[in-house]
Amino acid sequence: MSKRIPISVTVNGETYEEYVQPRKLLVDFLREDLRLTGTHVGCEHGICGSCTILMNDEAVRSCLMFAVQANGTELRTVEGLSKQGKLHPLQEAFQEQFGLQCGFCTPGFLMTACDLLEHGQDYTEEEIRVALSGNLCRCTGYQSIVESVQVAAEKIRKG
Amino acid sequence: MSKKAGEQIPGRTDYKWIGKSIPRHEDARLLTGRGTFVDDLNIPNVHHAAILRSPHAHARISKVDLRRALNLKGVIGGITGADVLERTRPFSVVATSPMQYYCMATDKVRFVGEPVAAIVARDRYIAEDALDLIDVEYETLPAIVDPEKAVESDAPILHEEVPNNIACHRLLSYGDVDAAFDQADFVLRERLVFPRYTSMPLETFAIISSYDHFRGGLTLWSNFMGPFIMHPITARALKIAENNLRFIVPPDIGGSFGIKTSIYPYLTLLGLLSMQVDVPVKWIEDRREHLLASSVQTDRVSYREVAVTKTGVVLGFRTKLYDNVGAYLRTPEPATTFRPIGNVVGPYQVKNLQIDADIVVTNKCPTGPNRAYGCAHLYFEQERLMDKVAEKLKLDPAEVRLRNFIQPDEFPYTTPTGGIYDSGDYPKAFQLALKTFGYEAMRKQQKTARADGRLFGIGISTGVDPSVSNMGYLTVALDPEVRQHPDYLPKSGAAETATIKIDPLGQVTVGLSSTPQGQGHETIVAQIVAEELELSPEDVTVIDECDTAKNIWSISSGTYSSRFASVGTSAVANAAKTLREKIFRIAAHLLKVDVEDVVFEDRRFYARETPTQSIKLSHVAGTAHWNPNGLPEGMEVGLNVTETFSFPLAHAPDQKDRVNSSNTYGFMVDLMAVDIDPDTGQVKILKYASVHDAGTIIHPKILEGQIYGGAMHGIAGALFEQQLYDDEGQCLTATLVDYECPFSTEAPKIDIAHIESPSPFTPLGSKGAGESSSETAPACIANAVADALSPLGVNVTELPLTPNRCWELLQSARGQTT
Amino acid sequence: MKLQVEHVFQVSRDVLWQVLHDQTRMADWIPGCEKLEEIEPDRFAATMKIGVGAIKGTYKGTVQIAEKQEPSQYTLAVEGSAAPGFVRGKALMKLHVEDANVTRLVIDADAQVGGLIASVGQRFVSGIAKQLTRELLANIEQSLRSKPEATA
Amino acid sequence: MKPVSFDYFAPTTVNEAVALLEEHGDDAKILAGGQSLVPMMNFRLVRPTCLVDINQIRDLAYIHEKDDRLHIGAITRHRDLETSTLVQQCNGLLFEGVQLIGHTAIRTRGTVGGSIIHADPTAELPAILAALDGEVRLIGPKGQRTISWRDLFVTFFTTVIEPVEICDEIIIPKLPSSAGWAFEEFTRRHGDFAVAGVAAVIVTDNNDRCTDARLAITGTAPTPIRATQAESFLVGKSLTQTTLEEAGRLVSTEVEPESDVHATANYRQHLAGALTTRALQRAVERCLSRKDQREK
């Protein structure tokens, strides 16, 4: 068994100093060590997108990184989206447009869309579909998710 | 009365909440990462299991040795087939030739991925390390994967008790099928192949097991979804009393689509593990395990022949089925074959039919319920042949369907197989579908496209959408003589239970055991209760987490067979009505007026004559709790109502194998236009219209979500996904790279419309629609692709229509071998 | 998975036969073979490191020679298992005389891969199998060259 | 699906990394973006006992232009390429091709060096390297060496890189201003590994005759390959539709793909040809429109 390595990582603004096994996947670190269970494990091979989080403001798969690699980074997870009881425009839009059913894939979609909308809000429907195409949803047939992101973009544009 | 989803239902002013797309109560927690799925539970001292699985499709196990694994630091225990054999019973199997099916291989492995041993360790990482240290020796045996070859006399035998690998055979006849074929002007025949796919939930199987050695009680937290017959089955397998076995299902399940019905062998396995190691044990199935060895839809080869008149009326059909259930007949299989028995004629007036079914075991993963259970197969066969009738008679395929529909004045309609279709207007819904699709314009567009050399096709499919399975249908798998035996306990019924209470301050809480997986039950129940109690949905708290030790449940409880919108809502509506009656009686008593004169408004009761003298709901509720003496004479204290709704027409099968296999029957029509790229063979859906009749619509957007999701699963199975095996039984699709679930870029938009024919059998008139277009979309795509390729003289008889397969069909038309 | 490969060697059939059956040299040309020990006549315990790139496994199993019709054909069966699963292959090895010092080796193989590699490595399994057969032929060539006395 | 235990090192210089590789030998693996390695580790298909994480060697993230060539540091992310105006200006094929890699979250982490050294025969960057006669620089204990793509790729997931070497730079020639290009690939789902793909570049003279043609094909061999017969067929010809179709047909006969769960060999062969024609059509269009722009 390899030695545990100290890391310092900021998640949703809070800094954690922890010791981790080198092989511990980042998603397991978030869920098990930090008890941030909003990020989900869907496939552990980078296809389904359920574990998508933001690392230094860009979407990454937390199942394809080791926790030790997050040392010194700033992470954002679904738990950090709403502020003081107020939903993020994306969360509002998902609720209004019925962009979720079972909710298992939802955190991954939200974080993927968050990356997209923080880098622009003016996208065609096709561009949104492409941007979301690394996330699997088995409930909605995607239409309501695409519409949610369109509505969220509009909300953010209008401030 | 037709309407687009999302709009208010016209003419329904009497409903304040039903029919409205209110925001979902479930969303806030799921959107903020506060949902509670099994893997999110924090059970003290939980340890982690990993399962060693067979790399062979068929082999005798000559040795399993855990010693090296158990010596690994962090490992606390493990089990093998020997422990399973000693401490558990095989599961009950519904078949003419029963077999020994345990939660783990005991003598032989019969499919790749079958559990061979399990390890418990401090964490999952170490548990997986330990799997590498288990020494197993196998003597490999020849494998068989093809259901038609499996029944041949020289095929390898999976189970000694199952001759010819036929676990179950039934020859079912209804009407006078020979006469129908004698009278027919012509007969059409096809061999059709329906593939294996899974609607694969994104959350895999998840179980935490905890055994109390002192009391002998076993608690299993899991994303189990019902039916609750699995509770006694698991108790029996684990040799523990039912009242010592507790299933707890947390509020959130990450999809299921039928697949999680088949979790119970793992519930047994985890139960045994925690008994062995004496600490709580968690097992989260990984994606590879899920795709290899959880559950999947049955694949089928069918030979169907139809007897038709020269006017295009179908007089009867005969079907020979080979249903491949994989290595074991796992309950509720062989339900693929029998679940649609009451609606096996679909929406058509066919009176005579024969089904000759072989349920075959092969060296593949065992099968089970999957969205569209049995119906996607059925409508693929039925609707492909309706198109063949049209082709033969040079009629428009829409016209052929119109000539065969059951007519609106025939409802309730009893099918030759015993189904009782409650309500509907098939021609009207069909016409609406043609209009929504723009059928004539699309046919014109097709002409132009064909003239330009494009491969443009239009497909139609229709189906009767059965909801709420009658628990008795499965016993059609047994010979009538078996069902007549005096020791035989007949099976029937379809029930669901709801509990509503009003607390001392007048707040409403509803408890359900429906174990939903994303269907929005909390929202729908709040709507119904708000409607009945004249409150706002926001006032109603719905707790939909199940604990079999605390909740009231029925043997058929759960969320499967599209049942909630029909049976669950009925239980809720009836319970709410009963509770309403009670609070109105208390209010009348307190106001000293007749119940008929009591008015309820803004949480206050008053007498119609004296609106200014009102009492609060909290006062009325408080009376029931705090002041029993203030209640009307003889009234029970408290405000709790538990109501079970049970369908009266869910009888056991009769001696002629007739059964009303479901309880409400909706209707659906799918229409699609597709374009095939001649270079790549890729099918593109250009237009998709879908019309549904699910009776009274309670929440239009949730219904739309079910239709979209169902359609997507049908499209996925028809174009993208397939569980594939090689000839030696190796599964080739155990990753999401190889098992190709479509993404947003592959998903079409759907034009959805509805008619509403309320069911006379449910209090709200609603029917289930959870499976909906997953049943008809595969047939629709097959018909559309066949239509696109018809100028080339190519027939479509097999799914999925992958680019590779379409290209091969094109090559065959081009006269080139591939 | 069926594979057929053939290769022409610039040696006589007897020499090729001899090389293919020389126990001291079999380990040289069986791809990835790290260890080969005879356990009974024509049956060997073998350790083979098989794979491509980083995807390598050390397989333990047996190599068996059977149905010998010296010097024209025989069967070679290889079986091995490791953590990523198992490999199993049986090849009919035919040696055709093309000329006095020219022999065509035709290999008709049926290979099976099971377990982890089969279930998650579908994109490259058949490619790896082909690669191994190419390696096999190259190794035999190499083996023939490295022992000049054999080609005499 | 959890990886085996390993020792972890995160060197901050190339020399440190090379020293670690030397020390740990065959069982060490370099961790770059990890988007291919980590899934294989999670499946336990790959079981390194030591990981040398090169993501902390910040000097290896750069894109610059020198001597008509793009020099790209090995840990430059795909996302950096797709957002680079320099890449867009001097190498349209690379700019187009990189966008076909996986999905955003994959491109955020995935690195140029990692993708090339991973040598997946369906991957985009190895094909672009092949089409443009690119090179990679490898650094080992004995110094550095620069290897042309031709000598780099050995077979599936295998290059000539030694276990003690690290790839630190990728060198890709700029496209001439008279060039047209296109990257066409066929996937069943957006962002998948391609069933087959074609990176095409053509250069024409003033009379619209082809003076140079590059066709790199993915998914049809253990490594990316160049369709040399089709390339020489195109040179000297005016690029009519018939010519482009004939080039496609030639590619179909040139490639010898394998069958797998996604596609049969015959289908792949056919696809390679059809995609060639499509890629060439778009490349020719680009060629002509760039010429128009120049003339304006």
Residue in D29, D43, D193 closest to C123 by CB: D193
Instruction: Give the total number of structural domains in chain B.
Output: 2
Q: Which residue of C has its CA nearest to B57?
A: C114
Q: What is the mean pLDDT of residues B739-760?
A: 97
The tokens describing D90, both together, are 């001097």
Whether chain C has a CB inside 8 Å of the CB on B731: the answer is: yes
**Token couple for D99:** 């966008």
pLDDT higher than 70, residue B741: yes
The per-residue pLDDT for B13 is 56
Asked if D11 has any chain A CB less than 8 Å from its own CB, the reply is no
CATH number of the domain bearing residue B636: 3.30.365.10
Res. C122: pLDDT tops 90: no
Report chain A residues whose CB lies below 8 A from the CB of D5. 1-2, 21-23
CB contact, 8 Å: D45 with chain B? no
- Percent of chain C residues past pLDDT 70, beyond the cut: 96
* A62 and chain D in contact, CB less than 8 A: no
Strands C2-9 and C102-114: antiparallel
Q: Which of B27, B690, B720 to mutate to test the interface with A (most CBs of A within 10 A)?
A: B27
**Which of B554, B602, B578, B564 is closest to B500 using CA atoms?**
B578
Alpha carbon of D51: minimum distance to chain A alpha carbons (Å): 9
Decide: A45 and B287 in contact? Cβ < 8 Å: yes
pLDDT digits (tens, 9 = 90+) for B689-726: 999 999 999 999 999 999 999 999 999 999 999 999 99
The encoded tokens of residue B394 equal 């040079």
Average pLDDT, chain B: 96
CATH of the domain at C12: 3.30.530.20
Contacts of residue D158 in chain C, CB cutoff 8 Å?
52-53
The class that CATH gives domain D58-173 is: alpha beta
pLDDT digits (tens, 9 = 90+) for D64-82: 999 999 999 999 999 999 9
Contacts of B20 (CB under 8 A, 6+ apart): B8, B527, B699, B700
Sign of CA dihedral A54, A59, A60, A62: positive
What is the value of ipTM here, to two decimals? 0.96
Could you state, in order of their start, the residue ranges of all structural domains in chain D? 7-56, 58-173, 179-295
C-beta of residue D52 within 8 angstroms of C-beta of residue D9: yes
Residue B404 domain-assigned (yes or no) = no
| CA B492 vs CA B93, B228, B344, B469, B649: distances in Å | 17, 14, 19, 10, 9
What mean pLDDT, rounded, does chain D reach? 96
Is the pLDDT at B758 greater than 90? The verdict is yes
User: Who contacts C37 (Cβ-Cβ below 8 Å, separation ≥6)?
Assistant: C44, C45, C46
Query: Residue C123: what pLDDT?
Result: 76
Give pLDDT, residue B687.
98
CATH of the domain at B135: 3.90.1170.50
The residue assigned the tokens 């109502």 is B641
| Cα–Cα nearest to B517, from A42, A38, A102 | A102
Asked if B292 reaches chain C (Cβ–Cβ under 8 Å), the answer is: yes
Across the interface, whether the CB atoms of C118 and B731 are under 8 A apart is answered yes
Q: What is the layout of strands, in order, in the sheet containing B508-512?
A: B540-543, B508-512, B495-502, B640-646
Contact status, residue B328 vs residue B322, Cβ threshold 8 Å? no
d(CA B420, CA B412): 6
Q: In terms of Cα–Cα distance, which of D85, D78, D83 is closest to D100?
A: D78
Using the Cβ of D160 and the Cβ atoms of chain A, whether some distance falls under 8 Å is answered with no
Question: Mind spelling out the 3-state secondary structure of A100-144?
Answer: CCCCCCHHHHHHHHHHHHHCCCCCCHHHHHHHCCCCCCCCCCCHH
Band of residue B2 on the pLDDT scale cut at 50, 70, 90: very low
Contact A60/D at CB under 8 A = yes
Min CA distance, D222 vs chain C (Å)? 7
On the CB side of D40, how many CA atoms lie within 13 Å of its CA?
24
Q: What local confidence, expressed as pLDDT, does residue D225 receive?
A: 97
- For B512-561, what is each residue's pLDDT tens digit? 999 999 999 999 999 999 999 999 999 999 999 999 999 999 999 999 99
CA distance A8 to chain B (A): 23
Residue D40 distance to chain C (closest CA, Å): 8
Mutate to test the interface with C, among D155, D187, D192, D218 (most CBs of C within 10 A): D155
Query: What pLDDT sits at residue A1?
Result: 65
Q: Which A-chain residues 131-150 have CB contacts (< 8 A) with chain D?
A: 131, 133-135
Exposure class string for A75-95: b at 16+ Cβ within 10 A, else e: bbbbbbbbeeeebbbbbbbbb
Token pair in block for residue B301 = 């080869």
Let me know if residue B448 belongs to a domain: no
Comparing CB atoms, the residue among B288, B724, B807 nearest residue D261 is B724
Measured at the alpha carbon of residue B295, what is the angle toward residues B292 and B300, in degrees to the nearest 5?
100
Residue C83's pLDDT is 79
H or E stretch covering B613: strand B610-616
Mind listing the domains of chain A with CATH numbers? 5-80 (3.10.20.30), 89-157 (1.10.150.120)
Question: Looking at residues B432-452, what average pLDDT do you find?
Answer: 98
Average pLDDT value for residue range B411-426: 98
Inter-chain Cβ pairs, chain A and chain B, closer than 8 A: 174
Distance CA D197, CA D265 (A): 14
- Report yes or no on B614 lying in a domain: yes
Pick from B37, B200, B519: which is nearest to A138 by CB?
B200
Give the pLDDT mean for B606-617: 95
- The minimum CA-CA distance between A125 and chain D, rounded to whole Å, is 15
> Which range marks the domain in which residue B547 is found?
495-646
Cα angle for residues B203, B209, B211 (degrees, 5° grid): 170
Q: How confident is the model at residue B221 (pLDDT cuts 50, 70, 90)?
A: very high
Each residue's pLDDT tens digit, B557-586: 999 999 999 999 999 999 999 999 999 999
Could D258 and C120 be called an inter-chain contact, meaning their C-beta atoms sit closer than 8 Å? Answer: no
Tell me the β-bridge partners of D230: none
Contact B799, B193 (CB under 8 A): yes
| The pLDDT of residue B6 is above 70 | no
The CATH classification of domain D179-295, taken from the options 3.40.30.10, 3.30.365.10, 3.20.20.70, 3.30.390.50: 3.30.390.50
pLDDT at position B5: 36
* Helix (H) / strand (E) containing D226: strand D225-226
Q: From CA A124, how far away is CA B364, in angstroms rounded? A: 44
CA dist B598 to B110, B475, B573, B605, B623, Å?
Answer: 67, 50, 21, 7, 17
- B444 domain residue, yes or no: no
| Token pair belonging to B244 | 């010592």
Identify all chain D residues contacting C83, using CB atoms and an 8 Å cutoff.
Answer: 44, 47
Residues 6+ apart with CB under 8 A from B669: B429, B430, B432, B433, B460, B461, B462, B690, B691, B776
Looking at the predicted structure, is the pLDDT value of residue B735 above 50?
yes
pLDDT of residue B809: 97
In the three-class reduction of DSSP (H, G, I as helix; E, B as strand; rest coil), residue B633 is classed as coil
**Residues of chain A positioned with their CB less than 8 A from the CB of D79:** 58
pLDDT, tens digit (0-9, with 9 covering 90-100), for B455-514? 999 999 999 999 999 999 999 999 999 999 999 999 999 999 999 999 999 999 999 999
Give the DSSP H or E segment for B619.
helix B617-626
pLDDT at B97 over 90: no
pLDDT at B817 over 90: no
Do residue C119 and residue B730 have CB atoms under 8 angstroms apart? yes
Q: Which of D189, D249, D259 should one mutate to test binding to chain B, selecting the residue with the greatest count of B CBs within 10 A?
A: D189
pLDDT at D174 over 90: yes
Question: What is the interface size between C and D, counted as CB pairs within 8 Å?
Answer: 57
User: B247 CA to chain D: closest CA distance, Å?
Assistant: 27
Query: What's the whole-model pTM score?
Result: 0.96
For residue B451, the surrounding DSSP H or E stretch is: helix B439-451
Handedness of CA D57, D59, D65, D67 (dihedral sign): negative
Which of B637, B661, B681, B391 is closest to B501 using CA atoms? B637
D193 and C117 within 8 Å at the Cβ level: the answer is no
Q: With 90 as the cut, is the pLDDT of residue C132 above it? A: no
Query: How many structural domains does chain C have?
Result: 1
| A34, A8 Cβ separation under 8 angstroms | no
Asked whether this chain's domains D7-56 and D179-295 adopt the same fold, the reply is no
Using an 8 Å CB-CB cutoff, list chain D residues near C128: 156
pLDDT digit string, tens, across residues A92-121? 999 999 999 999 999 999 999 999 999 999
**Quick one: which H or E segment has residue B269?**
helix B264-277
Asked whether the predicted pLDDT for residue C63 surpasses 90, the reply is: yes
- Contact between B744 and A146 using a beta-carbon 8 Å cutoff: yes
Nearest to B364 by CA among B685, B144, B633: B144
On the question of a cis peptide bond just before residue B10, with omega within 30 degrees of 0, the verdict is no
| Burial environment of residue B36 by CB neighbours within 10 A (0 to 12, 13 to 18, 19 or more) | middle
Task: Provide φ and ψ at C94, rounded to 5°.
Answer: -115, 135
Angle, vertex CA D197, rays to CA D192 and CA D202, nearest 5: 140
* Residue C147, pLDDT score: 59
pLDDT band at B95 (very low <50, low <70, confident <90, very high): confident
D45 touches A: beta carbon within 8 Å: no
CATH architecture of D7-56: 2-Layer Sandwich (3.30)
The Cα of B133 is separated from the nearest Cα of chain C by a number of Å equal to: 9
- Which of B710-719, C121-130, D199-208 is predicted most confidently? B710-719
Could you say which residues from 91 to 130 on chain B have a Cβ atom under 8 Å away from some Cβ of chain C?
112-113
Answer for the pair B556, B229: CB distance below 8 angstroms, yes or no.
yes
Beta strands B135-140 and B59-65 are antiparallel
Check if the beta carbon of residue B365 is closer than 8 Å to that of residue B327: yes
A2/D3 touch (CB, cutoff 8 Å), yes or no: no
- The whole-angstrom separation of Cα D95 and Cα D81 is 7
pLDDT exceeds 60 at position C152: no
Model confidence at C134: pLDDT above 60: yes
**Would you call the peptide bond into C71 cis, given omega within 30 degrees of 0 as the criterion?**
yes
Q: Which domain holds residue C134?
A: 2-151
Query: Residues of B with CB below 8 A from A45's CB?
Result: 287, 735-737
Please check whether residue A42 is in contact with residue B291, taking contact to mean a CB–CB distance below 8 angstroms. no
